[in-house]
A and B are shown apart, each in its own frame.
Chain A
Amino acid sequence: MDILQIVANGVPAGMMYGLVALGIVLIHNGTNVVHFGYGEQITLSAYIVIVLQVIFHVPFWLACLVSIVLSALFGLVIYLGILGPLRRTPLIVQVIATLAIGLGIREGLRAFMGPDPWPFPAIVANKVYEVHGVFITTANIVVVTVSIAIAALLFLFFRLSRYGHAILAACESPRGASIVGISVKQVSAVIWVLASVLAAVAALLMAPVLTLSPDMGLIAIKGFCAAILGGFVSLPGAIVGGVLLGLIETAAGYYISTATKDMVAYAALIAMVIFMPQGLLGKRLIKKV
């Protein structure tokens, strides 16, 4: 029974990490940058919903929709305004730029919305079901359903659509892709928009479960852990890594103590990077001179 309950709690938590990891991996594959401000982008989307709903009294579903659209635009602005122009600079410059984006969003939210948490409405009324002694909440069911749906949609998009193929090609070899007529710039822009939409969706799923405060973006570290577990280059790997991380964490929380949950997750990241940097589903990178 214990194990079933750990699975029932760990899988939804892991799916959320997997969603965050998906966005991070998408951006990394498309533009070679790890977006250290991704968590803050998620937080920003959640705050947009709150601002629209509480201050402008917009209905919740419309607020969610507007938040997704604004997030997509924001992603485009980040690409066109900051990381696009910086794409030829050394990695360290780009990493610091993404850190600065995160810092700006987090501190901006703290300045304008206050440091205290905001209550975030649940997407569906929260109920707890009991199945053979295992407790399952509606929030968790929604998280799992939406995450699987998004992962499936992304999978179909990349496997079946011409545009998905173009993106994969551009990720594989920007030079080759541009030779066969794919606009690498446009692909990068689409990837940023896609990842930002994902951030907004993740925000809607996470904000009711986590505490919505300017520091919610620290959840991105879990996303990094999930991405590394999954190999950092593979999209299914991101989800698998996320679920695995969720299970490890929940088990640690259950068998050791809840205080160790985050520590175990971070330790998993370090161990993975040191002993298996290629991840579970990734390919070993061979450095060429």
Chain B
Amino acid sequence: MMDRRMVLALLIAGLVVLAAGPAFLSTHAIVLLTLIATTSIITSGLSIVTGLAGQITLAQAAFCAFGAYGATLMSSHAGIPMWVTIPVATVITAFIGYCLGVMSLRVEGHYLALVTLAFAGIVNLGILNLADLTGGAVGHAVEPFVFFGYPLVSPTALYYLSMVSALIALWGVSNLIRSRWGRAFNALRQSEVASMSLGVDVRRAKAVAFGLCAGLAALGGALQSLQTTYLDPVQFTILTGVSYLSVMVIGGLGRLSGAIIGAAIFVLMPDFLGAFKTYMGLIFAALLLGIIMIAPSGLGELVSRHRWFKSPEATS
């Protein structure tokens, strides 16, 4: 066991390395690290809703789309700077997520997964069909991030912006996990009935978890769009949402570190495979299945559900 001072020292050392990173890293490495930072904001949302609260969502990419498109469209149509529109889009998306959570209160398990699937489908079709607003299948250029006259567009500037945002987001989530809400999410994953009888407002907790998850996705998606500089509806399909969930499972659903590991896998795997990129999806699926098969109880323990959800054989 490491004591507190040791952890603190490691944390500070890590922060120093991250802060000094751009001084000695290649541009390619900076770009990849920036992507990992923004993706980990997106996946940390999943670690709240799926990892902690035990609800399956396939709509994470759709919430990213809300954040990315929301920020850019508000900026390009109304002329509001991006540093204002990104937080605004994040809050609005969190509210949309909250509403989706409220609407899905009565359903759980499969039905929730199906609702989020359909929601993701509608969002993607909406982007494709509202071509006047969103650019449709062609896409839409992202407005540059200008902060009081200083444009933050270089890889290094975006690196710092994304890193700081990701650290704040992850720090917030890790505090949330240990807060009253975090304990409520944890309880409702293990047994909804038990947590209800202990005074947890299950419905509200679920909706809040969804809202937070959506907000984080929007923030991550918007920051990511600053780096990609172009919005392509292909980035925000149902399949991307499934990929986010998959990397979280590979990274580890139960811990916040899983969000970072998952994000790293999501970003680095295409880069790492290089010429074998065509087989990436296949390798990815095999990896996912392998992890599930080898450690179903490990994973299961982390996301154990109450008896209603287990197969009848297991309960009787």
Q: Taking beta carbons and an 8 Å cutoff, which residues of A are in contact with B?
A: 28, 31-32, 34, 36, 82, 85-93, 95-97, 99-101, 103-104, 106-108, 110-111, 173-175, 184, 218, 221, 224-225, 228, 259-260, 262-263, 266-267, 269-270, 273-274, 277, 287-289
**Count of chain B residues with a beta carbon within 8 Å of a chain A beta carbon:** 55
Q: Does B118 contact A (CB under 8 A)?
A: yes
- In B288-316, the 8 Å CB interface with A consists of 288-289, 292-293, 296-297, 299-300, 303-305, 308-314, 316
Chain A residues whose CB sits within 8 angstroms of the CB of B103 once the complex forms: 270, 274
Cα–Cα distance between A225 and B303 once the two chains are bound (Å):
27
Contact across chains for A104 and B297 when beta carbons are under 8 A apart: no
Tell me, rounded to whole Å, the shortest Cβ–Cβ distance linking B127 to chain A. Answer: 11
Interface string of B115-141 (1 = CB under 8 A from A): 101110110011001000000000000
Q: Does B246 contact A (CB under 8 A)?
A: yes
Provide the main secondary structure of the chain A interface.
helix
Given contacts A107-B284, A221-B117, contact A273 B111 (CB under 8 A): yes
Chain B residues whose CB sits within 8 angstroms of the CB of A108 once the complex forms: 281-282, 285
Chain B residues whose CB sits within 8 angstroms of the CB of A107 once the complex forms: 279-282, 284-285
Cα–Cα distance between A270 and B126 once the two chains are bound (Å):
15
- One of B50, B119, B285 near A92 (C-beta < 8 A): B50
Cα–Cα distance between A100 and B296 once the two chains are bound (Å):
14
Cα–Cα distance between A63 and B165 once the two chains are bound (Å):
55
- One of A92, A266, A277 near B305 (C-beta < 8 A): A92
Q: Does B104 contact A (CB under 8 A)?
A: yes
Cα–Cα distance between A225 and B121 once the two chains are bound (Å):
12
Contact across chains for B107 and A274 when beta carbons are under 8 A apart: yes
Q: Does B286 contact A (CB under 8 A)?
A: yes
Contact across chains for B118 and A90 when beta carbons are under 8 A apart: no
**Nearest-CB residue, chain A, relative to B242:** A99
**Nearest-CB residue, chain B, relative to A289:** B193
- Summed over the interface, the residue pairs from A and B with CB atoms below 8 Å come to a total of 157
Given contacts A104-B282, A108-B282, contact A34 B110 (CB under 8 A): yes
Chain A residues whose CB sits within 8 angstroms of the CB of B122 once the complex forms: 263, 266-267, 270
Contact across chains for A277 and B107 when beta carbons are under 8 A apart: yes
- One of A32, A111, A277 near B111 (C-beta < 8 A): A277
Given contacts A32-B311, A270-B115, contact A93 B299 (CB under 8 A): yes
Interface string of B137-174 (1 = CB under 8 A from A): 00000000000000000000000000000000000000
Chain B residues whose CB sits within 8 angstroms of the CB of A174 once the complex forms: 311-313, 316
Cα–Cα distance between A241 and B303 once the two chains are bound (Å):
33
Contact across chains for A96 and B281 when beta carbons are under 8 A apart: no
9 contacts between A and B (CB under 8 A): A31-B311, A91-B309, A103-B246, A218-B238, A259-B129, A263-B125, A263-B126, A273-B107, A277-B106
Chain B residues whose CB sits within 8 angstroms of the CB of A99 once the complex forms: 242, 245-246
